[in-house]
Structure 1
């Protein structure tokens, strides 16, 4: 399979896969290294394909018009991260990202795509293993989350509980 065919195959897999797919899985399917897949994804993005890289793997950026989004401002330290994320997913929300304002680099954004306790657990395992640190560690715990939900009522409920638990910045 040549480079052109491989990239077309990657596009097809991303379009036909319902959830995220790991770069290592794509590499195995294509019989190439993960680094080759990373390069292919970069080229596909340059060609205009909207590919998101999430902790769960690659996924196409497909707008769900029926979903509502809200950005919340939060402050807490590492020890309350899991609690904050579980409040959001337990109440029917999806944590799309985390955003911090760095004094030198400006806005830094990390895609999370967490929609269940399982996703939160896997995210926390990466942090506990020392594989990553929170972006909010750069900003003394201050960060934003974009939250997606099916209704305004769900977003309101999430915001109310986060506020009651002292997470939100007023």
Structure 2
């Protein structure tokens, strides 16, 4: 298969998938190296395709966003247990955590797409942090960070906000 055809099939596969696909899996499907896939993704993005990279893999967001509510929360916590509790509170109550954002004093706004939509995703995220001995991005800003949260409607979002307020995580 030539490069042009592989990129067309890669685009189609990402558009049709209901979940992220890892670079390793894509490399296996197309029988190329993971680095070739990374290059293909970069070229497809340069052509204007909205491909999101997450720890779970690559995906293209659904176009039908009229039934989705999205807003940002400002949160603060200090421990891995609090981080895990925050994430689980959001997903257990109908939210999807799209990203984490910190406002660093030197680098400015730093944003990472985390795409956590289930208890399993949250637990795997925490395990990856611990397994790699990595600190959360919020450690750069004394625990203060933002999350873009996606829910089916504003009422669901407001319910999440109330639960996070009760737990003392939200900065109001």
With the shorter chain as reference, the TM-score category is over 0.9
1:65/1:53 CA distance change after superposition, 3 Å: same
Aligned to 2:100: 98
Aligned to 1:164: 166
**Which of 137, 140, 162 in structure 2 is aligned with 1:138?**
140
* RMSD, matched Cα: 1.2
Does the aligned pair in 2 maintain the 1:78–1:134 contact within 8 Å? Answer: no
Cα offsets for 1:82-104 (capped at 9, x unmatched): 00000000111111111111122
Does the aligned pair in 2 maintain the 1:50–1:61 contact within 8 Å? Answer: yes
Alpha-carbon separation, structure 1, partners of 2:85 and 2:51: 29
TM-score (norm 1): 0.96
Aligned to 1:27: 27
Matched, 1:115 2:135: no
Q: Secondary structure at the match of 2:73?
A: strand
Alpha-carbon separation, structure 1, partners of 2:74 and 2:135: 19
Aligned to 1:2: 2
Alpha-carbon separation, structure 2, partners of 1:8 and 1:151: 34
TM-score (norm 2): 0.94
Does the aligned pair in 2 maintain the 1:86–1:120 contact within 8 Å? Answer: yes
Aligned to 1:69: 70
Aligned to 2:155: 153
Number of corresponding residues: 170
Does the aligned pair in 2 maintain the 1:97–1:112 contact within 8 Å? Answer: yes
Q: Secondary structure at the match of 1:69?
A: strand
Alpha-carbon separation, structure 2, partners of 1:78 and 1:33: 38
Structure 2: 5+ residue stretches without partners: none
